[in-house]
């Protein structure tokens, strides 16, 4: 009985909200919509800015980024083994998925922090090795990102005729080595940022 009345009360609230929504002017609707998207944005930010789960000074966002990049590197390695076993279809799917995951994370989680915290020095001065490790990482990472995407597009037959190389092996090996090097130096970047430097960014 209690369950049914609770259900009816919920339904009533829902119907009242729809009624109010339809009776609002367009201007007010737009404002309400903007307000709700701001609330959603704040909730997402708050979720990612909680302390991370790896027990360092990193927030949840940096820990998730690290996990995703390690996952992409593992997938690249599985894809490499699949190619050695001549399972080319499975190899193509694995490498395309890993390259897409890698590209999304680089664009979403690395370009902006690099601009703000290295180029603009947003957080204040840090030890020299903080800048050198991150810059070496960013250069190898950018090369891996561009070259890796080119090889992935070629593997899927999506580049113009002139760029269609036939000798896959060296191209794919170089792309794989660059991705792995970027990931390894990325792990070092994580350690420098959130473990080694004396004044790490603390997120609460
Ligand atoms: C194949 C490409 C790349 C790989 C595999 C890679 C991998 C990683 C990994 C594993 C981390 C540690 C996770 C973390 O600290 O959040 C990291 C951090 C970082 N990377 Fe990359 N990266 C790549 C490309 C780039 C590029 C192109 C840039 C800059 C232009 C860049 C800038 C950074 C920065 C600034 C951080 C620290 C981010 C933070 O913690 O706020 N990375 N990267």
The Cα 173–Cα 12 span in angstroms is 62
pTM of the model: 0.87
What is the full per-residue pLDDT of the chain (204 aa) written as tens digits? 667 888 888 889 899 988 888 888 888 888 888 999 999 999 999 999 999 999 999 999 999 999 999 999 999 999 999 999 999 999 999 999 999 999 999 999 999 999 998 999 888 888 999 999 999 999 999 999 999 999 999 999 999 999 999 999 999 999 999 999 999 999 999 999 999 987 776 654
Question: Phi-psi category of 124—alpha, beta or left, where left has phi over 0 and alpha has psi -120 to 50?
Answer: left
Q: 58, 64, 137: which to mutate for ligand 1, most atoms within 8 A of CB?
A: 137
Q: What is the CA radius of gyration of the chain?
A: 24
Q: Which atom of ligand 1 is nearest to the CA of 73?
A: 5
Residue with tokens 């259900």: 7
Q: What is the pLDDT of residue 1?
A: 61
How crowded is the C-beta side of 128, counted as CA atoms within 13 Å?
0
Instruction: List ligand 1's pocket residues with C-beta within 6 A.
Output: 62, 65-66, 69, 102, 106, 110-111, 113-114, 134, 137-138, 141-142, 144-145, 179, 182-183, 186-187, 189-190, 193
Q: What is the pLDDT of residue 200?
A: 73
CA of 166 to the centre of ligand 1 (A): 31
CATH topology assigned to domain 50-196: 1.20.120
Which residue's CA is the closest to the ligand 1 atom numbered 9? 186
Which residue's CA is the closest to the ligand 1 atom numbered 28? 138
Q: What is the pLDDT of residue 24?
A: 85
């Amino acid at each position: 009985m209690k369950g049914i009345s609770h259900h009816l009360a919920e339904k009533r609230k829902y119907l009242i909200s729809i009624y109010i929504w339809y009776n609002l002017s367009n201007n007010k609707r737009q404002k309400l919509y903007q307000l709700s998207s701001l609330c959603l944005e704040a909730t997402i930010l708050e979720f990612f800015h909680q302390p991370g789960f790896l027990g360092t000074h990193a927030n949840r966002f940096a820990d998730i980024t690290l996990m995703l990049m390690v996952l992409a590197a593992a997938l690249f390695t599985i894809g490499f083994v699949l190619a050695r076993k001549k399972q080319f279809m499975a190899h193509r799917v694995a490498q395309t998925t890993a390259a897409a995951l890698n590209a999304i994370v680089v664009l979403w989680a690395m370009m902006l922090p690099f601009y703000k915290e290295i180029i603009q020095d947003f957080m204040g001065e840090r030890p020299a090795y903080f800048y050198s490790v991150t810059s070496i990482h960013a250069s190898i990472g950018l090369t891996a990102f561009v070259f890796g995407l080119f090889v992935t597009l070629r593997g899927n037959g999506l580049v113009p005729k002139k760029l269609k190389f036939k000798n896959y092996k060296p191209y794919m090996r170089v792309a794989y080595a660059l991705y792995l090097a970027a990931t390894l130096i990325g792990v070092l970047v994580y350690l420098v940022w959130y473990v080694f430097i004396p004044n790490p960014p603390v997120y609460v």
